[in-house]
């Protein structure tokens, strides 16, 4: 096992039903500087009851994050410009991200742009963020992406045909509020597709070349939890399983930096067809049985057991340009592809082979 990177994790979390009621205390602890609290909330909550319990005070800023599409660099730029104008040069006392992975990631990206000049795309990559972001509190309302604990915030960049985050220790949340009662109203297919993201991060990491003994152990544990949740006796969305999924997402999210084959294909689908991340991952794994036979078999069982459908034919009749874009949008992700297949990945995944895989989805 090679030397690990000097690794930062989220320093504080609170877990369990009722944790959300503590959010106001955590924000108040940061209010000494006088700056406003900035809330980035999934637009899903705009007219929901949970919003009434949001501990926003006079002068705080609440922005709703549109999660109908994968977050794009231009969207993050526009959002952070608007927030900067409202803050009038005064840094916020903290930034709260409340929502699914997309919202949690947008909050991280906006926070980085509040303390670093320029545009979001300038920070897509590794160790490019120079100044620490304001204090950040993450409140996941959907489990599986690992966005609550990862050191990245994935953004699409159509111009550069890629999906890439601001990989930095400054991107990591400072406090998490993990309250499973916030996931009770998640639609079942969304719960499944997003939960599967954890399962995929973990086996992609375990099957890859870039390994880390701690991440391996966390991945094994999170995969076990996913098998229990999606193949066990209890309903996948029982109270206990919603809490288990929150924990699995948190543990498995630490493997999210070492993805393999699923995520590049999934990124191609999100770039070209604007498919949401979790669903795109599931389509990607559906054609990766040759590469991940055991995991593919278990995934097929999980789909059946939870009566989740993945209708075929999403890439059946695309234009040649779209197949080119799918190929480009996949192959551009060199780090995960070489993690999975080694330096020869471009030959192993030629245009023809990839196109026939997309056509089989």
Q: Which residues bind Fe ion (CB under 5 A)?
A: 197
Nearer to Fe ion, 148 or 197 (CB): 197
Residue whose beta carbon is closest to Fe ion: 197
Residue (139 or 200) nearer to Fe ion, CB: 200
Supply the DSSP symbol for 121.
G
**CB nearer to Fe ion: pick between 70 and 197:** 197
| Rounded Cα distance, 236 and 231, in Å | 8
List the beta strands (DSSP E) in 89-148: 94-99, 125-126, 136-140
Phi-psi region of 88 (alpha: psi -120 to 50; beta: other; left: phi over 0): left
Q: Sort 189 into a burial class: Cβ within 10 Å, 0-12 / 13-18 / 19+.
A: middle
> What's the rounded Cα separation, in Å, for the pair 122 and 124?
6
Q: How far is the CB of 301 from Fe ion (least distance, A)?
A: 21
Nearer to Fe ion, 36 or 262 (CB): 262
Rounded Cα–Cα distance for residues 238 and 155 (Å)? 32
Shortest reach from residue 50's CB to Fe ion, in Å: 25
The CA distance from 140 to 103, in Å, is: 9
CB-CB contact of 182 with 138 (8 Å): no
Residue placing its CB nearer to Fe ion in the complex, 135 or 173: 173
Q: Is 133 helix (H, G, I), strand (E, B) or coil?
A: coil
Q: Which is nearer to Fe ion, 134 or 140 (CB)?
A: 140
CB of 336 to Fe ion, least distance (A): 10
User: How many whole angstroms from its chain centre is CA 213?
Assistant: 22
Q: Give min distance, CB of 277 to Fe ion, in A.
A: 6
In the bound complex, what is the minimum distance in angstroms from residue 101's beta carbon to Fe ion? 8
**Of 34, 157, 161, 16, which Cα lies nearest the Cα of 94?**
34
Map tokens 């097929």 to a residue: 300
Cβ closer to Fe ion: 197 or 243?
Answer: 197
Judged by beta carbon, residue 121 or residue 197, the one nearer Fe ion is 197
> What is the C-alpha to C-alpha distance for residues 273 and 57, in angstroms, rounded to an integer?
40
CB of 222 to Fe ion, least distance (A): 13
User: Crossing angle, helix 188-206 and helix 213-231, to 10 degrees?
Assistant: 150
Tell me how far, at minimum, the Cβ of 82 lies from Fe ion, in Å.
28
Side-chain-side CA neighbours of residue 51 (13 Å): 13
* CA distances, 361 to each of 103, 288, 290, 341 (Å): 28, 10, 14, 21
CB of 201 to Fe ion, least distance (A): 6
Residue 118 Cβ, how far from Fe ion at the closest point, in Å? 26
Per DSSP, 36 falls in state P
Nearer to Fe ion, 197 or 295 (CB): 197
């Amino acid at each position: 096992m090679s030397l690990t990177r000097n690794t930062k994790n989220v320093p504080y979390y609170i877990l369990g039903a009722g944790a959300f009621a503590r959010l106001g205390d955590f924000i108040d602890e940061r209010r000494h500087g006088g700056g406003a609290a900035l809330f980035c909330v999934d637009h899903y909550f705009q007219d929901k009851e949970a919003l009434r319990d949001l501990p926003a005070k006079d002068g705080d800023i609440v922005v709703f994050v549109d999660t109908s599409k994968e977050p794009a660099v231009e969207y993050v730029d526009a959002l952070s410009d608007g927030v900067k104008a409202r803050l009038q040069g005064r840094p916020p006392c903290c930034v709260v991200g409340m929502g699914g992975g997309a919202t949690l990631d947008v909050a991280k990206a906006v926070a980085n742009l509040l303390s670093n000049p320029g545009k979001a795309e300038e920070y897509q990559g590794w160790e490019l963020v120079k100044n620490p972001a304001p204090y950040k509190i993450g409140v996941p309302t959907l489990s599986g992406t690992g966005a609550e604990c990862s050191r990245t915030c994935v953004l699409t960049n159509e111009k550069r045909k890629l999906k890439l985050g601001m990989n930095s220790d400054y991107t990591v949340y400072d406090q998490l509020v993990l309250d499973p009662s916030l996931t009770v109203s998640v639609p079942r297919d969304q719960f499944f597709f997003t939960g599967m993201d954890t399962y995929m991060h973990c086996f992609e990491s375990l099957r890859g070349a870039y390994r880390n003994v701690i991440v391996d152990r966390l991945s094994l544990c999170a995969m076990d939890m996913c098998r229990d949740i999606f193949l066990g006796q209890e309903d996948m969305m029982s109270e206990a399983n919603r809490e288990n999924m929150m924990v699995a997402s948190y543990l498995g999210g630490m493997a999210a930096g070492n993805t393999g084959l699923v995520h590049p294909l999934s990124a191609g689908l999100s770039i070209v067809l604007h498919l949401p991340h979790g669903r795109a991952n599931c389509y990607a794994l559906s054609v990766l049985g040759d590469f991940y036979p055991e995991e593919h078999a278990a995934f097929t069982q999980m789909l059946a057991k939870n009566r989740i459908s993945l209708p075929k034919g999403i890439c059946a009749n695309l234009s040649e340009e779209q197949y080119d874009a799918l190929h480009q949008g996949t192959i551009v992700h060199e780090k995960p592809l070489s993690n999975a297949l080694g330096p020869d990945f471009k030959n192993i995944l030629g245009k023809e082979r990839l196109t026939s895989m997309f056509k089989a989805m």
